[in-house]
């Protein structure tokens, strides 16, 4: 995951790149697809945003969640293009299994 994630976030601002990496590493596990790991990391970031609505201090969390969702979709498209639509539906429905929620 580390090299894939680094290659996809190379041009991101350093603070965002570091936060995305931190969240992704927290949810890294060999027994789940990378797309699921990234989606779970995004859910963690979004939970923090929801807990602090309107608070600008969570702006980095919101940007990180956005980046992680985008990366999860990209990873799924690369790993399993036929499963992308179903994966996106699970993201929207909030039904991905989460270890951090």
The predicted pLDDT at position 53 comes to 77
Q: What does the pLDDT profile of the chain (101 residues) look like in tens digits?
A: 779 999 999 999 999 999 999 999 999 999 999 999 999 999 999 999 999 878 899 999 999 999 999 999 999 999 999 999 999 999 999 876 543 33
The predicted pLDDT at position 97 comes to 56
Q: What angle do CA 87, 97, 38 make, to 5 degrees?
A: 65
User: What pTM does this model have?
Assistant: 0.89
């Amino acid at each position: 995951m580390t090299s894939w994630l680094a290659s996809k976030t190379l041009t991101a601002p350093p603070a965002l790149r570091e936060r995305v990496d931190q969240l992704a590493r927290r949810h890294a596990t060999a027994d789940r697809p990378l797309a699921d790991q990234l989606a779970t990391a995004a859910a963690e970031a979004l939970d923090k945003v929801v807990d602090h609505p309107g608070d600008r201090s969570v702006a980095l969390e919101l940007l990180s969640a956005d980046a992680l969702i985008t990366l999860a979709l990209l990873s799924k498209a690369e790993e399993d293009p036929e499963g992308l639509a179903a994966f996106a539906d699970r993201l929207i429905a909030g039904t991905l299994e989460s270890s951090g929620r």
